[in-house]
Amino acid sequence: MTLPHKVLSLHETMTTEAASDGRPANLFTLTNGSGMTATFMDIGATWLSCTVPVDGEAREVLLHCSSMADHQKQSAYFGATVGRYANRIANGQFTIDGVTTQVATNQAGNTLHGGPDGYDQRRWVLEHQSDTKLVFSLVSEDGDQGFPGTLKAKVTFELTADNTVAISYQADCDKPCPVNFTNHAYFNLAGEASGQDCLQHELMIKADRFVPTSEVGIPSGELKSVDQTGFDFCEGKMIGQDLLKDPEQVLAKGYDHAFILEPEVTDGIADFAKVVSPDQKVSMTVQTTKPAVQLYTGNFLAGTKGTSGEYGIHRGFCLETEYLPDAPNHPEWPGESILRPEQIYAHYTGYRFNF
């Protein structure tokens, strides 16, 4: 298929300037028979763009920057593969087998998304490319950001015939270490250039508990029922319906919380979430093998420069599948956040679009 003009333009503008390693980024666009496109970049193994055909036009449903200069200035992790440990680790410390490790901190004395030089900033190696699939790899040496063990990771992106952007992660490490990959895409199903925020999207999440946190996102230790709170999305509602209803939301200026998924929807096949655009023309369902998802409503996006201009607060939302924040310090919580040498880290998340 002929790529939409906005996708062709992105290939040009994003590669005009060099990335931090002195070389331009490499961009790759996958297509399918339905007219969808999904564009990825080797810097950060980033899901840069996703277009779906609506009323004869390609609707861009991901927030992103269109130049490397802007991409390197943003701190929102647009579309990046984040690791070694997505979300937060309190004080950058964890203890495994009686040994306490201090890793690099980068947000309020805590470690966020792997530290100040996380995998979102690295150039990943393209291992395989076809019209519908890409495989990127990364080797993270022992001691990288303070984390123990040499980690070898792969992320596979596939655009399927049923309009799913399928993301598979695989990793191994030669020392016990927390490992937690996710993709940090920001969605706006009304369109990146629509000027609308995400609050009028209808969202359903099959989760019965959420994780209360401090004002800097560190869990209190409690796993709280969503019942009778603004965190109850079990039946589906507008994202903005109960915005700031709860004290936990007030601390975070909106939703920026992990939801513990019902176990029956963590097989990578069942839909654990569904989102519908305000105009009802685009919907997205999400599947995963992870035990939790972080809903983030772009509470700190204001002033971030994107392709269509400066974004405002709540311009997009994230559904980041993951182990729970600070799970290395809470072994009693769902999921095995410590990867050991005899194990293989293997997880899947799919974002399936209907239009």
Q: Is 64 noted as a catalytic residue in this protein?
A: no
The Cα–Cα gap between 231 and 201 comes to 15
Spatial distance between the Cα atoms of 267 and 271, rounded to a whole number of angstroms: 9
Least Cα distance to 319 among 270, 280, 261 occurs for 261
Q: How far apart are CA 217 and CA 210, in angstroms?
A: 13
Say how many C-beta atoms besides its own lie within 10 A of residue 352's C-beta: 17
Which residue of the set 11, 71, 113, 184 is catalytic? Answer: 184
On the 0-12 / 13-18 / 19+ scale of CB atoms within 10 A, 208 is middle
CA 317 – CA 78 distance, rounded (Å): 11
State the catalytic residue, choosing from 202, 248, 320, 322. 320
CA distance 28 to 84: 24
**Catalytic residue status for 113:** no
Active site residues: 184, 320
